[in-house]
Amino acid sequence: MPSLNLQLKDIPDEGLDLTRGIALSDLGLRGEEFTIQAPLDLTVQLLRVGKQARAQGSIYGSVFYECVRCLGKFEHRSNIAFTVLFQESEQDSQQHSNDTSQEVKETVQIERFSMVNGQLELGDMLREQLILMAPMNPLCTPDCLGLCQVCRSNRNVKKCGCQEMGMASPFSTLRQLINTHDSTINKPSL
């Protein structure tokens, strides 16, 4: 299997196409942020541009997140496209000071990653893509009912007796008010 850590000089003039599966260990992850059950499909095209390398590709596959409401694991089909420019870290800091005008003009969002001594750490870059694309508040379904505050049972699975004891009254009162209001409006005036 081709390595995810390669050297700039390993990229031939015509570019390098890489297709392989990626596991959590390739990304340096242990399944805390999210987990996967089968390797994700990686396709990436690497191109050497002077002393920089451009990586364009996609990551595709099933990622499992934990729902913030019911804490259940759920599957999400991810399809993440990326375009990244690898450049030497010391060159990076110099360019940032006088290159700002050019950056603003760029229409396509190209991310920059640092290389050290021509070493491209693809695994680090891919990990960042996956973490960036992960939902902030993952939900198994948009209307997940979550866990019962009282008995902690999953309300999507089991209807426990203790639910909505305190919640019901203010809402039903409000609904009654709205209904009363509506009926007065709809009342024929003649």
Kindly tell me which of 69 and 127 has the beta carbon lying closer to Zn ion.
69
For residue 160, the minimal CB distance to Zn ion (Å) is 3
Phi-psi region of 71 (alpha: psi -120 to 50; beta: other; left: phi over 0): left
Q: Is 122 in the site for Zn ion (CB under 5 A)?
A: no
Q: Is 147 in the site for Zn ion (CB under 5 A)?
A: no
> How many residues of this chain bind Zn ion (CB under 5 A)?
10
Q: Is 67 in the site for Zn ion (CB under 5 A)?
A: yes
User: SS3 of 86, please?
Assistant: strand
For residue 151, the minimal CB distance to Zn ion (Å) is 3
Q: In the chain, how many H helices and how many E strands? A: 4, 7
Rounded Cα distance, 93 and 114, in Å: 10
Asked whether the beta carbons of 8 and 48 are under 8 A apart, the reply is yes
Q: Which of 150, 157, 167, 178 binds Zn ion (CB under 5 A)?
A: 150
Interaction residues for Zn ion, span 20-39 (CB under 5 A): none
Q: Which of 27, 69, 80, 129 binds Zn ion (CB under 5 A)?
A: 69
Query: Whose CA is closest to 67, among 138, 133, 142?
Result: 138
| Contact positions vs Zn ion (CB under 5 A) | 67, 69-70, 140, 144, 148, 150-151, 160, 162
